[in-house]
């Protein structure tokens, strides 16, 4: 799927429609101090087996797409709800 790099969208800070730069959201590395990560480390340490069954089958063909819209006027960033697409390419609109 092709998606434009620049979109006219509503900016809640400017309170009007402005041009926004679009970029894909990159996944950050998980913090070792978060409770879920601490629980995972505790469950997987030692001689015991892995606490969950290994995932079977292949990965989903369609992934969730997270986009960030950055206002060109005030640089305010909005991240709307994600949606599914098998492939996403940000392209220059001509």
76-to-23, 26, 28, 56, 72 alpha-carbon distances in Å: 13, 18, 20, 42, 8
Extents of the domains making up the chain = 2-44+61-91
pLDDT at position 30 is 85
Which class does domain 2-44+61-91 fall in? alpha beta
Average pLDDT, the chain: 92
More confident residue, 12 or 60: 12
Query: Taking the CA atoms of the chain, what radius of gyration do you get in angstroms?
Result: 19
pTM: 0.74
pLDDT band at 94 (very low <50, low <70, confident <90, very high): low
SS3 43: helix
Q: Which residues are bridge partners to 7 per DSSP? A: 20
Neighbours of 70 (CB within 10 A): 16
Neighbours of 50 (CB within 10 A): 8
Residue 10, pLDDT > 90, answer yes
Residue 49, pLDDT > 80, answer no
């Amino acid at each position: 799927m092709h998606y434009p790099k620049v979109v006219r969208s509503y900016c809640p800070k400017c309170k009007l429609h402005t041009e926004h730069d679009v970029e894909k959201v990159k996944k950050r590395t998980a913090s070792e101090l978060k409770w879920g990560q601490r629980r995972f480390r505790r469950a997987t340490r030692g001689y015991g087996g892995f606490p969950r069954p290994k995932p079977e089958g292949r990965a989903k063909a369609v992934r969730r797409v997270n986009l960030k819209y950055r206002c060109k006027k005030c640089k305010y960033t909005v991240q709307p709800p994600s949606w599914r697409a098998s492939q996403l390419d940000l392209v220059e609109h001509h």
